Amino acid sequence: MFARVLIANRGEIAVRIIRTLRAMGVGSVAVFSDADRDARHVREADAAVRLPRGYLDIEGIIEAARATGAEAIHPGYGFLAENAEFARACAAAGLVFVGPPPEAIEAMGDKIRAKATVARAGVPVVPGGAEPGDDLTEVADRIGFPVLVKPSAGGGGKGMVLVRSAAELPAALESARRTAIAAFGDGTLMVERFVPSPRHIEVQILADRHGNVVHLGERECSLQRRHQKIIEEAPSPLLDAEARERIGAAAVEVARAVGYAGAGTVEFIVSGREGPLDFAFMEMNTRLQVEHPVTELVTGLDLVELQLRIAAGERLPFGQDEVRLRGHAVEARIYAEDPARGFLPSGGRVLRLREPSGVRVDSGLAEGAVIGGDYDPMLAKVIAWAPDRAGALAALDRALAETVILGVTTNVGFLRRLIAHPEVAAGRLDTGLVERHAAELTGDEVPEEAYAAAGLVRHAAATRETGDPWDIADGWRIGGHAWTVYRFAGAQVRVRGPAGDAEVEVNGRSLGRARVVPGDGEALVTIGGITRRYAVAWEGDRLWLGAGGRAWPFTPVAAGAERDAAGHGGDGVVRSPMPGTVLVVKAAEGDRVHAGQPLLVLEAMKMEHTLVAPIDGVVAELRARPGQAVALDAVLARVAPCE
């Protein structure tokens, strides 16, 4: 076994690999970009090396391995994990690449070549075509719309665009190519037929360098948004033992067809809810998957350890007949994003963090970490196991309810609503479920009691800050207390009396007697006889509260200054819906534009977002330029209505 391994990645996967290396007694080397110099994976590794040119710098990574005495490089997922050039560069430098041979990476990385290879092995495929051999416009016309445009390299849903008509195709190709270059360093694209309402089921395989190949069962990954997985589980609630055997055998044949070695995943599109189960090969990911923990929990295996042992030349320690699936596991991905704003990326500093107990948590988070727009928005994964599916879903819900992340808007509340949805509970899944039920899943109004708690916590804070009751602006006067008003966007809270025994109103409605007991990073708030525990963090004058997995920022506003929603478009002002970077400016001052016309393209966390003209008119002001970093709600342009 290796004495020291370099991890050519970041975030939660780097932390997870370090955990296995430590358990095996193997030294770990982290690498980091300037944006990640204080990241958790840097602190937890035995050694760490700065990469001035980032995580796609092959030469820099190999030099870091040489400098630290690493014998092998684990690429994690994303970045260079499926880069055959990187695998060859490792070999040329005398380093072991913890992954498949470069020939297998190339065979599966070229999606059309991959489909031809697996078709020859007798596995059905999804029709499509890819560059450079195919004209994608002609391919789309031949197979018919709707189609999916996908980067040929990489995965994870990045750059994938659903195109419903020929008119949408040029813009989709342009956007997908930019994203592919930014995320994978390769702008080659492919097009394939879009299958409406399919299920996405993938099979985990392992192959050693001695010709042994096994599968470890399947994972259901149908719960997605924007082609990005959200919830994954093992095993699939759709498959019975016979179907599992068929799809598993097909995955093994795919691996054999390309001389695979290491851990990999064969992804299939599976037909709808009724009728015979038919599946078609979609692609093979020649790396560890984000969702690998659910397989680990139902098999009892450590896939990273097995990757390392295979890379070191060892044989698989078991055969197919020895693989047993026990119980059920479900994983939820926590993203820095705002479901109420169309899942736009968010950012900020993690002010308070509490991860749940009793479940597995793979996380790269730490209090004080700054979440910016440089990388993928996934922050952590929460994975629960139980003897059956219902128990696993219940355990996951409890764990998400315990999760506290303050300072950064996340999707935790959305995840709880999703796994509680009747169709999810019943196992009736498909890739369009989230979009169909988006309104009920993403509605996230701030509860009245949370507004009241915010007012009470601010009231208590004012008392603590001075220590002198005569300095408190609580409206006290001879004969009793008057109301103290706290204004937030969306609500006005009035509090009368001391924080330990007060009356509280929200938007003019009395909630009765209330009490707040501040603690260390939390507060017990009693309203109407019900006591709730809130996590508390301050960010300047902004107060963050968290409870039940949800988190809310409360910023005080001056009287009469509450933001009018119309100011986000009805007045012709175009604001940044997220922190990010301006990629493209598609208009100039003085241009006549129509409502819905693209004006700017923003990039945040390797995803593109097009901002359009809110009204018909003339571009009267344009403050954006390509390469410019912009903050949430920054004014980027203003369109004046035509006379």
User: What pLDDT score was predicted for residue 568?
Assistant: 44
Q: Count other Cβ atoms within 10 Å, centred on residue 106.
A: 20
Local mean pLDDT, 10-residue blocks, the chain (643 residues): 98 98 98 95 98 97 98 97 97 98 91 84 86 92 94 77 95 93 87 87 98 98 92 96 94 95 96 68 95 98 98 98 97 95 90 97 96 89 98 98 97 97 96 93 91 97 63 54 91 94 96 95 95 97 96 85 44 85 93 93 80 94 92 88 80
Q: Are residues 299 and 394 in the same domain?
A: yes
Among 157, 174, 193, the domain-final residue is 193
Q: Are residues 252 and 337 in the same domain?
A: yes
DSSP state of 556: B
Q: Which amino acid is at 276?
A: P
Q: What CATH number corresponds to the domain at position 322?
A: 3.30.470.20
Could you tell me the CA-to-CA distances from 113 to 250, 288, 289, 334 in Å, in that order?
Answer: 17, 21, 22, 34
Q: What CATH number corresponds to the domain at position 8?
A: 3.40.50.20
Nearest Cα to 295, choosing from 317, 272, 266, 273? 266
Contact 618, 642 (CB under 8 A): yes
Q: Are residues 236 and 178 in the same domain?
A: no
Domain membership of residue 118 (yes or no) is no
Q: What CATH number corresponds to the domain at position 452?
A: 3.30.700
- What is the CA 360 to chain-centroid distance, rounded? 17
CA distance 287 to 9: 13
Domain membership of residue 115 (yes or no) is no
CA distance 79 to 77: 7
Domain membership of residue 110 (yes or no) is no
Domain membership of residue 117 (yes or no) is no
User: What pLDDT score was predicted for residue 42?
Assistant: 98
Among 147, 178, 193, the domain-final residue is 193
Domain membership of residue 106 (yes or no) is no
Q: Are residues 250 and 349 in the same domain?
A: yes
- SS3 (DSSP) at 431: coil
User: What pLDDT score was predicted for residue 480?
Assistant: 62
User: What pLDDT score was predicted for residue 137?
Assistant: 96
Structural domains of the chain, count: 5
- What is the CA 464 to chain-centroid distance, rounded? 39
Q: What CATH number corresponds to the domain at position 169?
A: 3.30.1490.20
User: What pLDDT score was predicted for residue 466?
Assistant: 52
Domain membership of residue 113 (yes or no) is no
Domain membership of residue 586 (yes or no) is yes
Q: Are residues 352 and 414 in the same domain?
A: yes
Domain enclosing residue 326, as ranges = 199-442
Domain membership of residue 593 (yes or no) is yes
Q: Are residues 37 and 176 in the same domain?
A: no
The pTM for the full model equals: 0.85
Q: Are residues 133 and 86 in the same domain?
A: no
CA distance 568 to 575: 7
User: What pLDDT score was predicted for residue 507?
Assistant: 96
